[in-house]
Amino acid sequence: MNGAAGEALLEAHEIRRSYGRGTARFDALKGVSLRIGVGESVAIVGKSGSGKSTLMHLLALLDHPDGGSLTVDGGDAAKLGTRELNRLRNKDFGFVFQQFFLTPNATVLDNVVLPLKIAGVGRRERKARGMAVLTQLELSDKARNKAVTLSGGQKQRVVIARALVNNPRVIFADEPTGNLDSATGRLVEDILFSLNKVHGITLVVVTHDSELAARCDRQLFLRDGREVPAPELAGAAA
């Protein structure tokens, strides 16, 4: 089991996930264990089809494993009701994906405060909290701009702002720099690791980029749905 010192925020034990049936069955995860401590940064590394995004979706409670166990703060995730699952995903978890998933013709501010709107937060507080995170990410001057008018790097910063607006305990980032040029990607990485190191937000990064993975406290390497030692992936994470 891939371990970490300190209090465990997320812990997976021999989790498995398959899709399809019969001859069309695909075993995406074949028994993976992982322990993520509070305030840690962890990279899940592998090439396409390794199971890394599937693992992140399970850890983020966006999907359910077929076998094994998953705990959040020491509690069995399988016993969480729909309301508690939604609360965790909307308040304690923040998400940054390679695809921006912004509403193009909505303003930057409206995109950022969407999780607050879902949570039933009032308009005045939504605006205050939304502007606070936009200021933090040096985007307050873009608050009234439509998302469609932004550059790729600006869009990804808006996505990070949306992930931060509920003061999450953990940010899940799936190939967060995949659609960005190297210089812009580095800036986005710096923001994520600053949030981790300075603000103590736990960071789980899915990537095939070995340089990005190396910036994390630990790396979990996957191949064909199983954990493998790093040397076995030589060249695969490049």
**How much is the pLDDT for 180?**
86
Q: How does strand 170-174 pair with strand 202-207? A: parallel
DSSP-assigned beta bridge partners for residue 71: 11, 76
Query: How many helices (H) and strands (E) are present in the chain, helices listed first?
Result: 8, 10
Written as tens digits, the pLDDT of the chain (238 aa) is 444 446 789 999 999 999 998 888 999 999 999 999 999 999 999 988 899 999 999 999 999 999 999 999 999 999 999 999 988 888 899 999 878 889 999 999 999 999 999 888 999 999 999 999 999 999 999 999 999 999 999 999 999 999 999 999 999 999 998 888 899 889 999 999 999 999 999 999 999 888 999 999 999 999 999 999 975 444 444 3
**How much is the pLDDT for 236?**
45
**How much is the pLDDT for 100?**
84
Edge-to-edge order in the sheet of strand 226-227: 93-97, 170-174, 202-207, 41-45, 218-223, 226-227
From residue 189, alpha-carbon distances to 160, 192, 200, 232 in Å are: 11, 5, 15, 26
Domains along the chain with CATH numbers: 8-102+168-233 (3.40.50.300)
**How much is the pLDDT for 48?**
87
Query: Using an 8 Å Cβ cutoff, are 143 and 109 in contact?
Result: yes
**How much is the pLDDT for 230?**
78
Query: Where does the chain have alpha helices with state H?
Result: 52-59, 82-87, 108-112, 114-118, 123-136, 152-164, 182-199, 210-214
**How much is the pLDDT for 219?**
95
**How much is the pLDDT for 3?**
45
Query: Using an 8 Å Cβ cutoff, are 102 and 143 in contact?
Result: no
User: Which residue in this structure is represented by tokens 């019969």?
Assistant: 22
